[in-house]
Structure 1
Amino acid sequence: MTQKWRKGNSITSGWDYTVKHPIVAMVYTYVAFGSDYRRFYTDLADVRGLVDGAEVLDIPCGGGAVFPPLAGTTPKRYIGADVSPAMLALAAKEAEKSAIANLELLERDVVTLPYDAEFDLCLSYMGLHCMPDPAGAIAAVGRALRPGGVLRGSTVITGKGRKNDLFVSLWQRRGIFADVYPENELREWLRAAGLEQITINCSGAIAYFSATKPGRD
């Protein structure tokens, strides 16, 4: 799984194209997951207000799909990380257009993140369902957040309809998705990572989640 994304192929680049073209993304996610993908762009509009002056970790950043809605923001530090050099190359092109301040792109595996209580905000959109160890990924993000830090993201889940689950199975057979999980497991992983104020809102088989690391610096 990780090697497929690290190497890159027509499917991974195809997803990057899809998510950066809202009409295409809305058609695809409605057909595959019964989801209204306008929710993704609405979520990022909310995130924009959290970025200025913050230290931000975006993992997996993919091809930089979240950069355009955050264009022109001035975070104190913005780390965009991904296991895939191919996706990072696409992200670098997007970064040039978006002009997010203090943005650095790094090749990183989320479960081996070297960060400890360094970030105010972590973004993880549409990546957990492609990771072999999503619980470990959430735990690593929890460690990377400083007290009071916020995790925002989205992921494909199961249990939201037979047709949606069939699409998940198709992508699993093609080696693109890992072991996709139901909403209750996502909630438990967020809790196990020590995060609180957990909210999960689903649009079809795509769950949008938010959680906060307790305490304040």
Structure 2
Amino acid sequence: MPNWATGRLHAVVYDYGVERAWLARPVGALLWGTDTRELFATIRTLGALPPGTAVLDVPCGGGLALRGLRRDQDVRYVAADISPTMLDRTRQQARRLGLDVELVEADITRLPFADNEFDLCVSFNGLHCLPDPALAVRELARCLRPGGRLVGDTLVRQAGWRQDLALTVFRRSGLFGPGGTAADVEQWLAGAGLHVDHIERSGAVTRFAATR
């Protein structure tokens, strides 16, 4: 199967699993040693954003984070992804939830947004797929207003032999990039000029929050 087709199939299968909390929890625990309830708890905090907040979700995947928004919430929500397939799934998810979402096809390392444009950037389950995650974090930081926050998570190495083996398999198949360790994630954030507010590892997943 061509690499692009494999990548598309993986994206759709992954999206199907992560969107269903009842399925994501056992798979997350078995494959990555993580508790996915923490991911969904973070997503739910989006519903408390104040009116007028500008949010960038990248890579948005199939619109997982949209479930955290309220239908009547007065926020600007921009969902960006390099994959047209994922953007189409996000479009369908927004329609099901009755949400007004801007969809943008974009490379996370070359985002078509102005400096200081967003109050919040969220990036869930994406940095480990990139060839240069540090560059992506710097680009996200550029788009944040002073005082804005970057919140997200990524898979990391050195969580255990089973998790490292799975990461190696995905990397050799071309689905994941080089990734990094939890310490690397902290360096990416600091190197982008962000203040690290919170960083913790849950199995092979490192969750983070940082402020510009």
TM-score by length of 2: 0.93
Change (3 A) 1:73 1:199: farther
Which segment is superposed worse, 144-153 or 112-121? 112-121
Task: Map 1:44-193 onto structure 2 (within 5 A).
Answer: 44-50=43-49, 52-72=51-71, 74-101=73-100, 103-115=101-113, 116-193=115-192
SS of residue paired to 2:64: coil
* Structure 1 residues not aligned, in runs of 5+: none
Shift of residue 197, structure 1, vs aligned partner: 3.6
Shift of residue 46, structure 1, vs aligned partner: 2.3
Structure 1: how far apart are the matches of 2:74 and 2:166? 37
Structure 1: how far apart are the matches of 2:11 and 2:173? 12
Change (3 A) 1:187 1:136: same
Change (3 A) 1:171 1:117: same
Structure 2: how far apart are the matches of 1:70 and 1:90? 17
Q: Deviations over 1:105-161 (max 9, x none)?
A: 010001111321010000100000011110000000000000010111011011111
Structure 2: how far apart are the matches of 1:51 and 1:132? 34
Report how many aligned residue pairs link the two structures.
Answer: 210
Q: Is the 8 A contact 2:7 2:175 kept in 1?
A: no
Q: Indicate yes or no: 2:208 matched with 1:209.
A: yes
SS of residue paired to 2:109: helix
Q: Is the 8 A contact 1:148 1:212 kept in 2?
A: yes
Q: Deviations over 1:47-88 (max 9, x none)?
A: 332364200100000110111122425243211000000111
TM-score by length of 1: 0.91
Structure 1: how far apart are the matches of 2:162 and 2:50? 37
Instruction: Give the corresponding residue for 1:35.
Output: 34
Change (3 A) 1:6 1:184: farther
Which segment is superposed worse, 111-120 or 135-144? 111-120
**Deviant stretches of 4+, over 4 Å:** 3-8
Percent sequence identity is 37
Structure 1: how far apart are the matches of 2:98 and 2:5? 25
Q: Which amino acid aligns with 1:130?
A: C
Change (3 A) 1:92 1:14: same
* Structure 2 residues not aligned, in runs of 5+: none
Shift of residue 5, structure 1, vs aligned partner: 6.7
Change (3 A) 1:37 1:107: same
SS of residue paired to 1:17: helix
